[in-house]
Amino acid sequence: MEIMSLKKDNFPAVMELLSNGKPYVFPHHDYVYWIMEGYFPSSNYVVSEENKVIDFVCALPSIDKKCYFIWQIVVDADYRGKKVASILVDRIIEESKLKGYNKLELTINSDNRASYKFFERTAIEHNSSLNKIGEYKYKDLNDILYSIEFCS
């Protein structure tokens, strides 16, 4: 497996991967990913295996909150349950620590049990817990905002 920063060449594969992750994640206009590539290269990564993108994470540092916000994460269905997502989330945690931040924030759709379990396990692995800190509801969307604090 190869980990690399998001690049324009990856956009089609990332957008396909996100399309396959519906209803919990979905692709946005490629302009959004162009912004992520250009302005947040140390927090947007892909994992590829045999020239196939199998994992993507899009995270944004928040100077105001002194944390990283994981906006999108998706793993190819054939690689779920194989700790591929952990590779990228651990990378985001390391980037957070390098900036002197000690927490992640993220949203999880209230119906997405697999994502909840993954981030709960991630928190435990980092001697922390997954703490609900808010909620966003709009039409059929119900996302819960969580925080994971870790030692820097």
SS3 100: coil
Which domains occur in the chain, in start order?
Answer: 2-149 (3.40.630.30)
Lowest mean pLDDT among 20-24, 85-89, 91-95, 148-152: 148-152
- Name the pLDDT band for 131 (thresholds 50, 70, 90): very high
Q: Is the pLDDT of residue 135 over 70?
A: yes
SS3 1: coil
Q: Which residues contact 33 (CB under 8 A, 6 or more apart)?
A: 6, 11, 14, 15, 44, 58
Q: Is the pLDDT of residue 104 over 80?
A: yes
Residue 152: predicted pLDDT: 61
- Name the pLDDT band for 151 (thresholds 50, 70, 90): confident
Q: What is the widest separation between alpha-carbon atoms in the chain?
A: 40
Q: Which residues contact 142 (CB under 8 A, 6 or more apart)?
A: 109, 110, 111, 135, 136
Closest CA to 71 of 60, 61, 55: 60
Proportion of the chain above pLDDT 90, given as a percent: 96
The neighbouring-strand residues paired with 130 are: 148
What is the rounded average pLDDT of the residues 115-130? 97
- Name the pLDDT band for 140 (thresholds 50, 70, 90): confident
What's the mean per-residue pLDDT of the chain?
A: 95
Exposed, middle or buried: residue 75 (CB in 10 Å: 0-12, 13-18, 19+)?
buried
Q: 24-65, pLDDT tens digit by residue?
A: 999 999 999 999 999 999 999 999 999 999 999 999 999 999
Q: How far apart are the C-alpha atoms of 59 and 63, rounded to whole Å?
A: 13
